Amino acid sequence: PGAVVDPSAHVGPMCVVEDGATIGPRAVLRASVTIRHGAQVGEGSELEPGVVIHDRSTIGKRCLIHSNAVIGADGFGFRPSPDGRGVVKIPHAGIAEIHDDVEIGACSCVDRGKFGPTVIGAGTKIDNLVQVAHNVRIGRGCLIAAKTGIGGSTLIGDGVMIGGGSAIADNISIGPMARIGGGAAVMQDVPAREAWLGYPAKPRMKFFREVSTLARLVGVPRELGGRRTSGA
């Protein structure tokens, strides 16, 4: 009874809209979508089957969230227990905040913040199977390809492009318009407009120089061995 569903919204079969949730005009909830307590879905947004929006999280206008994506689940936070016999879960009281015109792929996860929000900026597009950890802030118009993992409290500027299978460490900054190659492991800050590749990631030209040098060095032992043999 405490939910607010606009008359022009579509709520499909087996959906759950909990108390205090708000579904905006012309929003579409396909089958088996769950909108938890106090969550908001903006005007014209579409949630495909199996999507879960957790407590108080917000979805902006004209967003598209694909099947089985989870927005606003607890972040991965633990500390050693006082008795030294295990770990203790750290509560997360924040939310996930998805701005207008965002697309999030199937089976991707955006965790809630520990205190404040985890933020996905307007117009950003996220592929399938992407993990966005707690307190991450992603800017406007970013493109993030499949199987990327973004560690907690990382800041990603506007217009960043991240290739598939990349791993972004926690508590770093990626500047606006930077490019991260597929499969890269980013372990330090990336300046604006730079392209980084590799494992661990480094500036593109440095990566190419190192790969080229390594390729030349591969043949050196064989050449030296051949010379010793011919001189014997």
Q: Which of 54, 92, 99, 134 is catalytic?
A: 134
Place of tokens 């950890």: 133
10 counts as catalytic? no
Nearest to 121 by CA among 136, 131, 106, 107: 136
- CA 154/CA 230 separation, integer angstroms: 57
Nearest to 135 by CA among 180, 192, 93: 93
| Residue 9 neighbours by CB under 8 Å, 6+ apart | 23, 24, 25, 26, 27, 28, 29
- CA 82/CA 136 separation, integer angstroms: 29
Active-site residue list: 134
